Structure 1
């Protein structure tokens, strides 16, 4: 579920285009596409999906990216990234825009000059950020990062011995760690679903996997209490479909906990409409806020999107605690997000800067950013298919409900080399060291059904400071390096 975007920047066709640094080949491509003579604006990635001709599909996606290039050049100029490197690991860390850096510096100096404290639940800032995520201020808390938010969500639930939490075998430690604490402390059980990988999946595939596992556990007499999943999985970039899994959650009347580390700043989601109980995301990745910031969405009222009673929950790290029972209707009883945000004196400039980045995203248009990120990723996937074949992809490409801006694949000419962790790490290092673009990506290890050992694939993040040329350079360099390492 997405909202319509709000583009406060000028429309791309109204912006002057700086072509001084472009190659002749690039200018020829623009002339071929008719840029400036009625070329279509950037269209959704979905328009190109489903074609069996990956070369044609790639050309279509590239044309969409080029058609809006002037707009994104203006966006790219908002950042201070080192031009000697190409940063394609936003899934680990983003970069603050210049205006956010300036505000952070100003507020830090003001705080130092006035000997300011941070005793606050930051309601004024939460009011500014919440609309961009489709929730009310009492439902949006600021946390230290995704892992912090997952600890708040999971360890605040009053578990009983024998409660079962259904999750996957592709989860991050940020979610698995508090689950394991709850296992040892309260006696809960963790049931992991093995995740299929690659393009031969649909949203229904994952929806059915969760439904079948829950039904199987119930048939065995187990008390299933909650479902926890990553959307997307950080290992393969598979966007486990929130709306479809939420249908399963509501049918079985369960608590829903989403590790959405990569969602804020990448996807334009209305969390009130999606209806999950908890979604923990990062402020410092795709949202491009400072480090040590996160966003925790906490359902705090009954909406049509989720008519289930609100789960009992207690704060575990706070200076704010209400003993009142939570609401049974559409009006909150108290500000539950304050209990997460307020814990002693917080460093307010960090969250002022985070909100500044959120407002910048709102002004650009979250839908526009999502569309651009996904189109870059779709173009990358098609280029991967052209060089390595569709079997090399661990990320889905043809079901748009499963696609995000993380792309994972096996780059090795000998496919079995993907199980060599040392060789995989060397690939990442050499890609940055031996190619002039200074390409920075990461690898990730994960289980593959039927494989004897973990696979260590390459994972690439495509975001607002990239363009089609960056992807072309990446694919060419990775293809060249895979030949050298064959």
Structure 2
């Protein structure tokens, strides 16, 4: 949005008690706070994703745009909570998000308090973890604060006592944050890694992935292999395909395996109930879509038996901690100990970072995680439809029609000569020129990945749509990309 930045005092949500919630706010702002849920009669965002074409000739993109604009005032207020430079349109949240003013204020306050009191960092932040955990559908003993997604993946993977010959089934579209600890486990313990080749584009469904994982596991078992775990990304960082967690978990439970999800982009984008999903480990970022400080992450660790996953808890040991409990894990519905504390506490930690992350999570819970998910996905759906209108549906690496596979990441081939997408230098030039050649410039990125049937990686252009964007931003983006693709043809 190109609206003027207002003063920080008007932008910030109250940091603590809500008893005097309207203090310092205009009438419009007080109305907005009631919409956020502080007062009676909180507003509910409409089902934007239900937008589709109709008999009047309105396209699916037009309908999605109209639905988004109905709540423009609401999201303008949300967008004005951020301090982003208005000379650029930041559409690379998949790499880094932005702290809103209220989170910056919390970070500054907590840093000063720590300095004034010479504060200790020897804590596992149990109270803060319990508060944040509610927004993710788990208990405090199941939510750890980590340094980032990669850190959480190291905790999850390298804490498992692997045996030589154990097989981990994963994909060929994984991030280094998961690939690196797998490689360490391969060299250190002698595990085997079996990679599934990932399809791309719109011609795929959730059932596709359920079958791919199930068939690979059955194939390995028929060869006498000891399959121990499944590791996957939801969504993949290269194409934005949301590998369907619920469907993959059905396969995991049927084969009695450990489940490890690289969910770098999930916190702050998707409103998932991890207790209901039953994943053993989900590692996500605090600094991307959740808009917390850098060097913060969220690691969800299954720590009790729920109907969602009746399998025994996997054996696991902390690898980077100053908190260790030497006792067996729970075999029932109650936790045996706070397993997440062992990830969070390692010597003296910088508590202001995690207090600020907790404030960002509180802000998301106040607005409504489902509301944010719906808006993000609606923006993404609108972008995908506009890309399809200009470049054709075959230009998409991201699926758009199966709702179980969509995320707020969109990856596509912008080049008039489709083969140019295999030229990494040209893809990088496209990204650089989108920032330098337009006013405002667009911050996006490319990502390289293998595509079935091609000898070389494709370097798709990846775009992130989040709460500080609106349909106008997407319109300008698509027009700019179309113009640049013609110039680079």
Q: If the length of structure 2 is used for normalisation, what is the TM-score?
A: 0.91
Query: Which residue is equivalent to 1:85?
Result: 88
**What are the residue-to-residue correspondences of 1:19-418 with 2, within 5 Å?**
42-48=45-51, 56-418=59-421
Contact 2:235 2:243 (8 Å CA) reproduced: yes
CA distance, structure 1, for counterparts of residue 263 and residue 240 of structure 2? 12
TM-score of the superposed pair, with normalisation by structure 1: 0.91
Offset, 1:114:
1.4
**DSSP-derived class of the 1:205 partner:** helix
CA RMSD of aligned residues (A): 1.9
1:436 to 435, 439, 459: 439
For residues 483 and 229 of structure 1, what CA distance do their matches in structure 2 show?
37
Residue by residue over 1:87-115, the C-alpha shift from the partner in whole angstroms, topping out at 9 and shown as x without a partner, is 00000000001011011001111111111
The alpha-carbon distance between structure 1 residues 372 and 163, as it changes in their structure 2 partners (threshold 3 A), is same
After superposition, the C-alpha distances for 1:170-224 in whole angstroms (9 at most, x for unaligned) are: 0000000000000000000000000000000000001100000000000000000
Native 8 Å contact 2:64 2:381 kept in 1: yes
User: What secondary structure sits across from 1:192 in the alignment?
Assistant: strand
Q: What SS is found at the alignment partner of 1:400? A: coil
Contact 1:231 1:242 in 2 (8 A): yes
The answer to whether 1:467 aligns with 2:485 is no
Distance in structure 1 (CA, Å) of the matches to 2:27 and 2:94: 30
Equivalents in 2 of 1:198, 1:430: separation in Å? Answer: 25
Q: Distance in 2 between matches of 1:329 and 1:422?
A: 54
Q: Deviations over 1:235-291 (max 9, x none)?
A: 000000000000000000000000000000000000000000000000000000000
Match of 2:455 in 1: 452
Contact 2:168 2:231 in 1 (8 A): yes
Question: How far 1:51 moved relative to its partner?
Answer: 8.7
Q: How far apart are 1:46 and its partner, in Å?
A: 3.7
Q: Unaligned regions of 5+ residues in structure 2, if any? A: 1-17, 30-42
Encode CA deviations 1:425-482: one digit per residue, 9 max, x unaligned. 0000000000002100000000000001100010000000000000000000000000
Aligned length: 454
SS at match of 1:445: strand
Return 5+ residue gaps in structure 1 as ranges. 1-7, 18-39
- Please tell me whether residue 482 in structure 1 is matched to residue 485 in structure 2: yes
SS of the residue aligned with 1:287?
coil
Name the CA distance, whole Å, in 2 between partners of 1:316 and 1:300.
Answer: 17
How far did residue 127 of structure 1 move? 1.3
